[in-house]
Amino acid sequence: MIAYIREQGAKISREGRRLIVTTADMKRTIFVEQLEQLLIFGNVQLTPPALLFLLREDVDTVFLRADGRYTGRDRCAGNMQ
């Protein structure tokens, strides 16, 4: 599964083996076992525990500007201990 987080001001946090995406009016759960790629658009907060979890689980995480222009990518979990 590929997840797109586009809601500006959203927050991604970790809860056990899940990622919780919180926005002003909604809360969504993403199960990392089903996640192969996470695309984050613009002003989205990613907590340090969530980022470390994505790295350890080898989830390709792509950072984009709000308009979709590529900013960077983090896929180096194989090097983490």
pLDDT digit string (tens) for 20-37?
A: 999 999 999 999 999 999
pLDDT of the residue at 74: 83
CA atoms within 13 A on the CB side of 29: 6
pTM over 0.75: yes
pLDDT of the residue at 80: 46
Confidence class for position 79, pLDDT limits 50, 70, 90? very low
Q: Which two tokens stand for residue 2?
A: 């590929």
| CA triple 1-69-15, angle to 5 deg | 40
pLDDT of the residue at 76: 57
pLDDT reading at 51 higher than 50: yes
